Amino acid sequence: MAISLVITPEISQQRGFEIAQRTGATLMHSAPVNGQYLQLSPTGLALCDSEQPKQRLRVDFTAGKQGFRLRQHGQAREAIVRACGIGKAPKLHIVDATAGLGHDAFVLASHGAIVTMLERSVVVAALLRDGLQRAEQEGAHHITSRLTLIQTEAVDWLNQSDWPAADAVYLDPMYRPARRKAAAAKPLAMLEKLLEQQQQNNENLLTAALKAASKRVVVKRQRLAPTLGQAPPNFSITGRSTRFDVYIPG
Ligand SMILES: C[S@@+](CC[C@H](N)C(=O)[O-])C[C@H]1O[C@@H](n2cnc3c(N)ncnc32)[C@H](O)[C@@H]1O
């Protein structure tokens, strides 16, 4: 079912139409009584929920936790950066095949990687595109210029692309139920609700990634979660709550 898009009076109809066209959303002037909807206001595009009026989810690369990660840049090399092998080759082309809100892709690009982001949800892709546009306006052009967003099913894109599609393919396919408990994760719980009908095709995703990557495939998992596919990774980098499984294509 199409999601609703509410635009506030300050926003031009044209901008509303553009987002409605990309997302298949139905334009409305007030919030629906039930369920999730998108709201476009001067602060950007947000995912909202009529049942939780205080919650909203917006992609913001320069404030909050993501802004902190950005400011820490250079002080500590994050595990994700080491797992993707960026230290050895800063201009690596990485395909982030499950871009989501783009947090990981933004970190990779801030360390010099050229990142192609693939996201299959039209709503998530719209939130991400909006966050990238605001980051650009807020002075992060040196990072956003290394990021390209494509709204597509990653398995199809990876299988159809010329080989090799990238030096590395990065996968983080699932929002994890355990995250729901943490108060800080409430916006992520909204995303889990949005995506709960999505079919998982993780085994196919890993197979396609291994064909498309020339140097490595990196899979983000919860620290104690099973591997994504049947095959064991070549090595893993384990942090406090997260593990990065690294596969070297054979
Ligand atoms: C856990 S989130 C990724 C979070 C991301 N790493 C970040 O830092 O924000 C997973 C995302 O991958 C997307 N996804 C899952 N499978 C996909 C596929 N086969 N093709 C494209 N996108 C996919 C989902 O729609 C969801 O937005």
DSSP string, 22-50: HHTPEEESS--SSSEEEEEETTEEEEEET
pLDDT at residue 160 is higher than 50:
yes
Mean of pLDDT over the chain: 89
Does residue 119 line the site of ligand 1, with CB under 6 A?
Answer: yes
Query: Measured between alpha carbons, how far is 69 from 79 in angstroms, rounded to an integer?
Result: 12
Q: How far is the CA of 175 from the centre of ligand 1 (A)?
A: 8
Q: Position 9: which residue type?
A: P
Q: Which residue has the tokens 């709201």?
A: 39
pLDDT at site 66: 62
pLDDT at site 131: 97
Residue pair 58/44 in contact (Cβ under 8 Å)? The answer is: yes
pLDDT at residue 8 is higher than 70:
yes
pLDDT at residue 12 is higher than 60:
yes
85-98 pLDDT per residue, tens: 997 776 899 999 99
Q: How far is the CA of 13 from the centre of ligand 1 (A)?
A: 30
Q: Higher model confidence: residue 31 or residue 68? A: 31
Torsional class of 115: left (φ above 0), alpha (ψ -120 to 50), beta (otherwise): beta
Nearest CA to ligand 1 atom 12: 98
Mean pLDDT in residue range 101-123 = 95
Residue pair 234/248 in contact (Cβ under 8 Å)? The answer is: yes
Confidence of residue 57 (pLDDT cuts 50, 70, 90): very high
Kindly report which listed range (9-18, 73-82, 130-139, 197-206) carries the lowest average pLDDT score. 73-82
pLDDT at site 75: 45
pLDDT at residue 217 is higher than 90:
yes
pLDDT at residue 104 is higher than 50:
yes
Highest mean pLDDT among 71-75, 185-189, 237-241: 237-241
Does residue 195 line the site of ligand 1, with CB under 6 A?
Answer: yes
Does residue 155 line the site of ligand 1, with CB under 6 A?
Answer: yes
Q: How far is the CA of 71 from the centre of ligand 1 (A)?
A: 25
The domain 4-57 is placed in CATH, from the list 3.90.320, 3.40.1630, 1.20.1070, 1.20.120, at: 3.40.1630
pLDDT at site 169: 98
Query: Measured between alpha carbons, how far is 150 from 17 in angstroms, rounded to an integer?
Result: 20
Does residue 57 line the site of ligand 1, with CB under 6 A?
Answer: no
Does residue 205 line the site of ligand 1, with CB under 6 A?
Answer: yes
Percent of the chain with pLDDT over 70: 89
pLDDT at site 240: 86
pLDDT at site 20: 96
Mean pLDDT in residue range 168-175 = 90
pLDDT at site 239: 86
The domain 64-247 is placed in CATH, from the list 3.30.470.20, 3.40.50.1580, 3.40.50.150, 3.90.226.10, at: 3.40.50.150
Q: What is the number of the ligand 1 atom nearest to the C-alpha of 220?
A: 6
Query: Measured between alpha carbons, how far is 123 from 178 in angstroms, rounded to an integer?
Result: 23
CA angle (191, 197, 202) in 5-degree steps: 90
Does residue 172 line the site of ligand 1, with CB under 6 A?
Answer: yes
Query: Measured between alpha carbons, how far is 81 from 34 in angstroms, rounded to an integer?
Result: 41
pLDDT at residue 188 is higher than 90:
no
Q: Where are the domains of the chain?
A: 4-57, 64-247
Strands (E), the chain: 4-7, 26-28, 36-41, 44-49, 56-57, 93-96, 114-119, 147-151, 166-171, 213-222, 235-238, 242-247
Does residue 174 line the site of ligand 1, with CB under 6 A?
Answer: yes
Mean pLDDT in residue range 135-146 = 93
Mean pLDDT in residue range 209-229 = 94
Mutate to test the pocket of ligand 1, among 70, 106, 119 (most ligand atoms within 8 A of CB): 119
Known binding residues are 119-120, 172
Tell the burial category of 232 from Cβ atoms under 10 Å away from its Cβ (0-12, 13-18, 19+). Answer: exposed
Q: How far is the CA of 100 from the centre of ligand 1 (A)?
A: 4
Known binding residues for S-adenosyl-L-methionine are 119-120, 172
Q: Higher model confidence: residue 74 or residue 220? A: 220
Nearest CA to ligand 1 atom 16: 173
Confidence of residue 176 (pLDDT cuts 50, 70, 90): low
Mutate to test the pocket of ligand 1, among 98, 121, 152, 241 (most ligand atoms within 8 A of CB): 98
